[in-house]
Chain A
């Protein structure tokens, strides 16, 4: 801004612009600058800042079968105190409260009036090694199918589970 005003003064002194033009130009510059700063300091236009998935609510005929699958095959951690005979909580990822998520398998209705459905969930695992993964999944009685570099399996209720690997397996790969 300082350089701009200096040049404006030069123009005035040299007669390139008159006083009125000087004042109008300066007023316009100040208005534009103020608007820019306000925009830069503003909060996001609208909406909330999404930082992750908190939990997934999964209804099925027998939550115990889902619990056993997701703990034994995918390494989720059952929270025993939440396991009440109707549902439980399976933790995964960072620690609770620090980015960790959980799956809630529960006995419940598997029909919905919604016009949308979550047809599958993809999970990231560290240290992607397809040979090792295939062996582990096969040992668990599953038939992993590769698609787009990731592995797909079905859980005990034929719900599709996708297992993805490293940094290339994100939205920006598409």
Chain B
């Protein structure tokens, strides 16, 4: 614990983390330690995830799904092939939200339909997962609960399900759960 705290303090003093992040990190670590839990943040992980790079979405008809997401989030479709298409969250050259560095790619949704003619080896090489991503929450600008509800209804979603003050759930064209949230919905907020 001492080494972990020292490392975080160094990070703070050298400007690598903010005062707020320092406090949050130390609070979380202290809480876990006090509870005798093994859930303290692991110090010095070899990798440090920065952002979601892409979400890979597989479905029976990728064009139909891509159009659905394009309409909902006003997304362009780029790099289409016979089996997939990408929908970046922004325009070429823009920075991802919350990021200023120039070498960070825009996140994107890639929507695919499995190629029925793909070699058997390709399908056998992927393991069968025992986990399930059961929904994704997408963050939109200028979230206003009444306006978002109204817009969703206008778009044909008769009963968007409110989840707190800052999000709604709907289902997409394939019955997949889609959450739409504002930036006020964070890991710390509920």
Interface residues, chain A, with chain B CB atoms under 8 Å away: 44-61, 66-68, 71-83, 88-102, 108-126, 132-133, 135-137, 139-140, 154-155, 157-160, 162-164, 166-174
Contact = CB atoms under 8 A, between A and B. Distances in A.
Contacts of A89: 187
Contacts of A79: 28, 187-188
Given A47-B73, A123-B49, A168-B105, A93 B41 contact: no
B161 interface: no
5 contacts: A61-B130, A71-B41, A97-B186, A118-B55, A139-B46
A168 to B, nearest CB: 7
A122 B18 CA distance: 26
B121 interface: no
Interface string B68-90: 00111111001101000011111
A158 B137 contact: no
Given A53-B137, A157-B129, A159-B131, A170 B45 contact: no
Contacts of B59: 115-117
B39 A48 contact: no
A66 B142 CA distance: 33
Interface string B129-161: 111111111111110000010010001000000
B137 to A, nearest CB: 4
Interface of B: 18, 20-21, 25, 27-29, 31-32, 35, 37-42, 45-60, 65, 70-75, 78-79, 81, 86-90, 92, 96-99, 101-108, 110, 112, 126-142, 148, 151, 155, 167, 171-172, 174-177, 179-181, 183-189
A59 B129 contact: no
Nearest to A123: B49
Contacts, number: 329
Contact of A57 (B20, B60, B97, B136): B136
A155 B129 CA distance: 9
A119 B58 contact: yes
A148 B20 CA distance: 38
B32 A124 contact: no
A110 B129 CA distance: 9
A48 B140 contact: yes
B131 A74 contact: no
A52 B96 contact: yes
Q: Which has the most chain A C-beta neighbours within 10 Å: B39, B40, B59, B138? A: B39
Given A82-B187, A172-B92, A122 B45 contact: no
A74 B49 contact: yes
Nearest to B101: A126
Contacts of B31: 80-81
Contacts of B74: 44-50
B50 A58 contact: no
A10 to B, nearest CB: 42
A77 B25 contact: yes
Contacts of A163: 47
Given A49-B74, A54-B179, 13 more contacts: A47-B72, A48-B151, A50-B73, A51-B139, A53-B107, A75-B46, A77-B28, A81-B31, A97-B184, A99-B99, A116-B174, A133-B47, A158-B131
B187 A91 contact: yes
